[in-house]
Amino acid sequence: MSERNYGWKRGALRLAAAIALLSGVASWPKAHAEPLVNLAAGKPAKAGYADFRGGAVLTDGTKSSADYASVSSGVQWVQIDLGKSFDVAKIKLWHYYADGRTYRDVVIRLSDDPAFRTGVTTVFNNDRDNSVGFGRGENSQYAESADGLRVRFPAVRARYVRFYSNGSSANGFNHYVEAEVWGTASSARTEGGALQVKRALFDDFSYTDARDEKLGQHGWRVRTYSGGPGPRGVSWGTGQVVFVPDPAGAGNRLARLTAETDGKGKGTRQGEIYTTATKFREGTYAARVRFTDKPVSGPDGDGIVQTFFTISPMARDDDPLYSELDFELLPNGGWGVDQPALWHTSWFTYRSEPWRQDTEQDYHPGGYAGWHELVMTVSGGQITYYVDGKRLSTHGGKYYPRQDMAIHFNLWFLPEGLLESGKKRSYVMDVDWVYHAQDRALTPAEVSAAVRQYRTEGVSFVDGVQEKE
């Protein structure tokens, strides 16, 4: 991986007593002894296409190409409601297959949310150009046959299964013959029966502004001290973090971080919010974040970094206890990569002068503008990074956290990535909620169910995380 010079960033962060937010523990449920059953048999199905009338065909058990449901042309989806949440581990899907055609941009997603806004896990994606909008898929195109498509994956708790496609090699329409969703019948959990962890932090950022006294009472601080990361001379202030109504959710509010620049350090202001407590290490970390890839004003093209991370204090250069775990989106490229990419970095230590870092990191090219659920689990010696239910990176060994951390959200400019323009420009990043389950490795679906349960019960904040001696 390319080296990233964080020297100034790390030196400045030592001034903060507690800095971090995003580590967790990932472990999938153990295999069930009981056999899998088709949970979708006879269950209702619907489509995003208003005139869809063939829902019963998808789950009637008939796998003949003569018996299919037709959906309109272009990107379309059909969805099955299992009636309850189950542990799902396998899916079988048949499109029209009599002539061996290939359907384009096939994506399969699972969730406990019927609108697929939260807790979404993608288990199959062969959309190679992001036509559907969920990122470029890594699965292969395939020709349809009587055998159908079979997808196996670690158990995911979900009630709803959604299938996408975008026409076929024969024509622009979408056709479904049958869908089977395989899981364990005994794992059923009715809606509202979400797993709740007592030692957990949840905050949906329902604050008025950065001066709201509850913000401090709940353990958050908006950064105002000087220093990096960012160009020299950058400043930070309470005005860079605001709380705004959610345009997509009545009564909901969002934390909005803003970074603005005129191309010079002294004309640059950046936003950061972090927990004042340094008490987070093993467990599950999650946040729902809206990344952006364009400025809200001014010219585009600056190197901008949108982050959700955890970080510990550092006693000295090459401190062997230093711990940090990062989600970092660079929508305009950077760090030696000339395209948008999401970075996952786990730190062992670093030295400021001369700069040297010891990290394990991966980057995933592609566009990530829009809302995403970021989940990180820290458990059993492994750090696992998920985006929208999909596991993207796994780190471990000496990069596993060795001391407690704080939770941070940060929006900053790459010093070497500023445009040579004096015109002012501004970027934003939104955060809907943050969650941490102490010493518990949860699946992304379980995280979403826990958050949904908090909101159903009207809980906007809880902190049961214990500081350890």
Specify if 52 maps to a domain: yes
Q: Are residues 50 and 16 in the same domain?
A: no
What's the CATH number where 214 sits?
2.60.120.200
Give domain status of residue 468, yes or no: no
pLDDT in tens, 190-237: 444 556 688 999 999 999 999 999 999 999 999 999 999 999 999 999
| Cβ atoms 111, 187 nearer than 8 A | no
d(CA 458, CA 373): 21
The total of structural domains in the chain comes to 2
Which pLDDT value is given to residue 21? 35
Q: Please determine, for residue 20, whether its predicted confidence score (pLDDT) is greater than 50.
A: no
Q: Which residues pair with 393 in a beta bridge?
A: 385
Does residue 1 sit within a domain?
no
Domain end (from 132, 156, 188): 188
Same domain, 247 and 318: yes
| Nearest C-alpha neighbor of 81 from the set 105, 106, 107, 116 | 116
Residues 270/236, Cβ–Cβ less than 8 Å = yes
Indicate the residue among 142, 160, 188 that finishes a domain: 188
- pTM value is 0.64
What pLDDT is stored for residue 18 in this prediction? 36
CATH code of the domain covering residue 60: 2.60.120.260
Specify whether 416 is located in the same domain as 453. Answer: yes
Q: What's the pLDDT tens digit per position in 271-281? A: 999 999 999 99
Residue-range definition of the domain harbouring residue 236: 7-28+194-463
Phi-psi region of 172 (alpha: psi -120 to 50; beta: other; left: phi over 0): alpha
63 and 116 in a common domain: yes
Strands 269-275 and 235-236: parallel
Query: Distance from CA of residue 384 to its chain's centroid?
Result: 12
**Do 234 and 275 touch, CB atoms closer than 8 A?**
no
Q: What is the mean pLDDT of residues 412-416?
A: 96
Asked whether residue 49 is domain-assigned, the answer is: yes
**Number of other CB atoms surrounding residue 469 within 10 Å:** 3
Q: Is residue 2 part of a domain?
A: no
269 and 413 share a domain? yes
434-461: average pLDDT? 91
Is residue 164 within 8 A of residue 177, CB to CB? The reply is no
* Phi/psi at 56 (5° precision): -65, -25
Residue scoring higher pLDDT (29 or 402): 402
Q: Is the pLDDT of residue 268 over 90?
A: yes
Contacts of 469 (CB under 8 A, 6+ apart): none
Residues 355, 243 within the same domain: yes
Q: Are residues 142 and 230 both part of a single domain?
A: no
Structure tokens belonging to residue 143? 């020709």
Same domain, 50 and 161: yes
On the CB side of 217, CA atoms within 13 Å amount to 7
Sign of CA dihedral 33, 38, 43, 46: positive
Q: What are the start-end ranges of the E strands in 241-282? A: 241-245, 253-261, 269-275
Which residue, of 164, 188, 212, is where some domain finishes? Answer: 188
In this structure, are 365 and 424 located in the same domain?
yes
Residue 469 resides in a domain: no
Query: Which residues contact residue 8 at a Cβ distance below 8 angstroms, ignoring those fewer than 6 apart?
Result: 227, 228, 229, 232, 415
Judge if 313 and 407 occupy the same domain. yes
* Amino acid 353: pLDDT: 87
Q: What is the pLDDT of residues 57-100, one digit of tens each?
A: 889 888 999 889 889 899 999 999 998 899 999 999 999 999 99
Q: Over the stretch 27-56, which tens digit does the pLDDT of each residue have? A: 333 333 467 889 998 888 899 887 787 778
174 and 295 both lie in a single domain: no
- 21 and 129 share one domain: no
